[in-house]
Amino acid sequence: MLVALAGLTVGHAIASGSVADGLPTAARTLFFFGDITFYLWVPFLVISALRLRRRPPPGVAFLVAVAGGILNVAVVALIGLVQEGRVASFTSIAVEGSLAAVLAAAVVIPVAYRASSWGREPVARPET
C-alpha cells in the first residue's frame, strides 16, 4: 500500500507542482477509491499462504490484484450511478486508484518473491 501511495504522490506532485499538494490527494484517492483492490488481494495472499502452506505463483498473485482492480472500478461505478449520476467522475478516480494498486503489486510481487528465496538452496525438481 505504501508503494501505491508513493507512486500516486509522485504523480499528483508532478501534476500539481507541489509534493505538499500531491500527498493528501494521493492518500484520499488511494484510500477512498483503491481500497477494494487491497481488500481482495491481501486476504488472498494470506489465506493461500496459510491454507496451502506455500505462496501462490507470482502470476496468480498479480491476476488477483488485477481482478481486485476491476472489481473496485465496477463497485465505484455502481456507487456513482446511485449518487446522482456521478459515474464518470467517480470511475475516473477509481481507475487511478486501482491502477496505482495494480502497479504497486507489479513492483512488490517480484521483490517479495525474490527476497523470500534469498539464502535458500535451490530444490532439485524430480524429472518426469
Express each pLDDT in 23-79 by its tens digit.
777 777 777 776 777 777 777 777 776 676 667 788 888 888 888 888 888 888 888
* Domain residue extents for the chain: 22-115
Closest CA to 43 of 101, 110, 51, 20: 51
The Cα–Cα gap between 12 and 18 comes to 8
Distant-in-sequence, close-in-space partners of 21: CB < 8 Å, separation ≥ 6: 12, 13
- This prediction has a pTM of 0.70
The Cα–Cα gap between 40 and 68 comes to 6
The Cα–Cα gap between 116 and 81 comes to 43
Instruction: Give percent above pLDDT 90 in the chain.
Output: 0
pLDDT at 113: 77
pLDDT at 51: 73
pLDDT at 105: 85
